[in-house]
Structures are given as C-alpha cells and as structure tokens.
Structure 1
C-alpha cells in the first residue's frame, strides 16, 4: 500500500514539475489537490498520523538511550572479551527490538508472537479437522 501511494504521489509531483502545459494547468492541478487535501476524511487521517508521530517521537529517544545504556553495561561486565562481545550483541538485538516496538514496528519478538498466533490458528484448524474426521494437511 505504501508503495502504491508513493508511486502516485511521485507521478503527480513529477507531472506537475515537469509539465509543459504551463501555469494554467499547474493552477488547475493545485486547485484539485487542495480540494482533496481539505476533505474531512483526508484531514482525519492527517490528524491520526500527526498524533501517532507525536506519541512515538517521545518514546523512541528514550528506548534508544535505554538500549545504549544496557549495551554499554553488558560490554563492561566481567568476563572474557568473547563473553562480553556475545553479551553486547544479544543486548543490542534486544535493544533494537525495544526501539522497534517503541516506534510501532515489529521486531523479532513481535514477529515470533505473530508466528505463535498463526500456529495457534493452524492448530485450531487441525483440531477442527480432527473433530470432523477430515485429515489435516499441514502441521505447525
């Protein structure tokens, strides 16, 4: 979906900037664009995106700082250099997941959760298949 929207916006901007139709056509396009931009559904979505960005903008720097502190602590913990490196790498991966979660993304833990949910759904279908007497075709 993001790719399609980006493509349409890119084509529109390219047309406007590269148009040889002149100022009159530019003004027509601008007028139509402003009509669409000022529609209530569009403005509702704009407001939702702004609110989301404001909410996440505060969470991400704190998650970055907390992750950096954890990585430094794990790298300076007692142990051999190899143990320190392994600990720092594991901590950095966890910190990256935390930052991704703070930004509203889906890190490894989230993806694992989605995989578990898909597995539960699949198991539910397998259970249903067993109850109806049909043989399941896949296993989780």
Structure 2
C-alpha cells in the first residue's frame, strides 16, 4: 500500500498541490464529462486520477480523496473495491469528535452535518455505515 502523507481535510486545491509537492507518483486531471454519472476515476496503468471539473469544490475534494485511496492500494480499474474505498475515504475525511458534535448540533440532518464537516452527504452516509458496522460487530 502506498502512503498518503497529506492533510486530506484541507481544501481541494491545497490537497492537489500537496500531491505534487510530496512527489506522489500520480497525476490529477480534470475531465469535462465522465461516463455513467461518475465523479472521478483512477487508472493504475497510467497512474492518473480524473475528476469531473463540473463538481463543486467540496465534492471535488471528497472525490480526489476517494481516488487517492484507490491509488494507495494500486487498484487497477474504476469500480472495483468500492466498499473498502468508501469506508476508508469516510475515515480519512471525518473526525469522530467533529462528527459526534455535528450529529448533536443538527439532530442527525445529513445535509447540515455534511455542510458543517465540509464533505458530501454520501461521505456522511458512508461514515454512518461504518459506525453501524462497528456496533453490529
């Protein structure tokens, strides 16, 4: 597994620049349109991450971190290992303490929690799945 020596909770622009500053062997590119409603994709063959340029910056950052998790594992195609990648992305982007506070502040409202934590609602739902799986185990 390749290390991710970055502050992944930083802004999209800062994370992207940190990737190049750290000399990580991955290229980040913008795409005008990705197929099937995809927000991003990683190719191990070319070590390239594509991010849909139409996304808002919060979604771009969440997508970039998601694709960096694919890169860190050397995943060879988009779409594989999604459950693992989604769980790891949620863990990387959400502080348990900050989540617990936001959950209480906003009475469980996923959209307001996501806005408070500067992530997408999908990341919040993935984090909730992690919490549920931990309790069930």
Larger fraction in helix:
1
Higher relative contact order (CA 8 A, sep 6+): 2
Larger radius of gyration: 1
